[in-house]
Amino acid sequence: MWPFNYFKKKREKEEQERRRAEEQARQQKLEEERIARERERRLEENRRKELERQAKLKAEREQKESIQPFTFRSNCHQRYENDTPVMGLQECIRTVSMVKNTDGCPGYKLAPALVTS
């Protein structure tokens, strides 16, 4: 019985090694599939973010290129002497209004503004 017992144990050990190798191969395959899915998900997310960024840039560019009238009103001024600011920002009684020209003329036109307080 001794030789048969030896071969039986050897066969069981080989079977156990084969099962272990199969399990490791299956685990490795699952891990590779998970990594591939994760990579695809990240690529898709990056594509989506890039499209959103490009759409945002396009919208900003279109907004910059369009001529939109605007009015800037201010009751503060800054004095300069020899290209250096003097006395900080000062508040005035008068309000100045600046309207962007949208009639094809370059520049801006200044007009006194109505004080609405």
Model pLDDT, residue 15: 95
Instruction: List, for residues 15-66, the tens digit of each pLDDT value.
Output: 999 999 999 999 999 999 999 999 999 999 999 999 999 999 998 887 776 6
* CB atoms inside a 10 Å sphere around CB 112: 9
> With 80 as the cut, is the pLDDT of residue 74 above it?
no
Instruction: List, for residues 92-104, the tens digit of each pLDDT value.
Output: 777 766 666 655 5
Q: Using the CB atoms, write b or e for 92-101: b if 16+ within 10 Å.
A: eeeeeeeeee
pTM of the model as a whole:
0.42
Residue extents of the structural domains in the chain: 1-66, 71-112
User: For residue 75, what pLDDT band results from cuts at 50, 70 and 90?
Assistant: confident
Model pLDDT, residue 111: 58
CA-to-CA dists, residue 55 to 41, 42, 60, 61, angstroms: 21, 20, 9, 10
Instruction: Provide the β-strand partners of residue 78.
Output: 89
DSSP type of residue 102:
-
Instruction: Provide the β-strand partners of residue 104.
Output: none
At position 15, the amino acid (one-letter code) is: E
The values of phi and psi at residue 69, to 5°, are -70, 145
